[in-house]
Amino acid sequence: MNYSIEPFKDAYKDQLLSVWDSSVVTTHLFLTILDYIEIKQLVKEIDFNQFQVYCLMQDENVLGFVGVAEHKIEMLFLKPQFFKKGLGRKLMDFAIRELKANKVDVNEQNTKAVIFYEKMGFVTYERSEKDDQGRNYPLLRMRLKPEQSL
pLDDT, mean over the chain: 94
Model-level pTM?
Answer: 0.92
| 50-66 residue pLDDT tens | 999 999 999 999 999 99
Task: Map out the domains of the chain with their CATH numbers.
Answer: 4-148 (3.40.630.30)
State the pLDDT at residue 83: 94
User: Which is more confident, 149 or 3?
Assistant: 3
Mean pLDDT of 14-32: 96
Mean pLDDT of 81-106: 96
Q: Is the pLDDT of residue 150 over 60?
A: no
Instruction: Spell out the long-range contacts of 117-125 with Cβ–Cβ below 8 A and sequence spacing 24 or more.
Output: 117/142, 118/142, 120/89, 120/92, 120/96, 120/144, 120/148, 121/145, 121/147, 121/148, 122/148
